[in-house]
Structure 1
């Protein structure tokens, strides 16, 4: 049982996946080229132009401190994207290791899976809020707080894949030739489990970007001095009636980015599934 990706398939990617990939590439470029695009400090305050609607000098308007919203949205993309990617990487790495260990033995399976079941009994966003409240705000704290609730899902997926793959012929053959448990797990089982785990990671990335906005909305997310899409929305909620553009642009961007990431995950699932074929 192996997962493969062919160049022939890549040349015939679904239109939705191509659009999603192009959009995400554009978002990344705009976020990290923000200093060249705007030339405006996202933290610079100018009370003379506070709460100004979109204009030629401020394309997306200004906030309650006179800060340029376009600059804040572009710079905020750097933080939000890092949180999404880092959360997915951390949760996937820890969850995969735990799932492999659980699937390798009965005792480890019983202990680890009961712990994972207990964690899954707590709603993920509530656990993230509790962790962020206990350890304080900050990018690293938010990443850890968002990653921990996602670990059980990855662990259960990795465990189920391990239980299935360890019964495959190629694993039995490696075992008969004297391959040890660690070699079986990391050389034969893990490579064949990476495709569905990678798809799960894209889902976690999108959820993390969305949940970061939730944390900022309740005041335990990224500090205001580090603009992110989430805290831009949180700051604008008090001015929703007189300056709705403050929350409109970052909110729409969050929604579209999460949708694009989910489309990429769906496309990756189809491309990496060995049963996926394209008509000639």
Structure 2
């Protein structure tokens, strides 16, 4: 569905994204994972036509993406990192406004809005001003706005940033439901567990470059499914990775004088192993 070819974006002497290549198939849920400033948002803006690439191309359903391709834009839903709600309007009014932007007929948008309010569990808040909603509820309303045109492709840029753990888990359920509907989803996040839990595949990006792209399970298997984490005499935490728990146990006997733990390898371990700095 989406083909990214040698995509590069420079701002003066600074390269925000460099030679990104990515293929996203129909109905897949892809996570773009990296620390703040890695280039995730810049890449998303090029994919949706808000930024013109310095070099490279984006094709969506075989059509070249640009700012003026309204046919493709009509098939896309976007949940930006920063709030795009009209804070003075109610929940219901925000959805009506979104429907009008997509030129959805009045006789049709009422039904769509009621379905979205139910899907997002926003029915009891329909008459509240957006400014009165919690951070998690505002995020749910932003997702509802992005779904008003029944898009085939959904881009989510840090959809749970600033949301508490309960709100984040509820949004995860919504995203899983969207995946079950056959939507093609690209999610940017710096929450490791979010990508591991939700995504079919993850792409690691750091300093503007995509350097790994595979399923979470395969990425962890490549590194080693078991991790020995120990704190040494230099007051430094070390990590050793092993294919089997038995191998991890054998190694642990050589560091019995140190504080250590044997645990399952995580996506954070994979990222840290490649970049030597954690995603926070």
TM interval, short-chain normalised:
under 0.3
TM-score norm. by structure 2 comes to 0.26
Query: Whose helix fraction is larger, Structure 1's or Structure 2's?
Result: 1
Alignment TM-score, normalising by the size of structure 1: 0.26
User: Relative to total residues, which structure has the larger strand share, 1 or 2?
Assistant: 2
Higher relative contact order (CA 8 A, sep 6+): 1
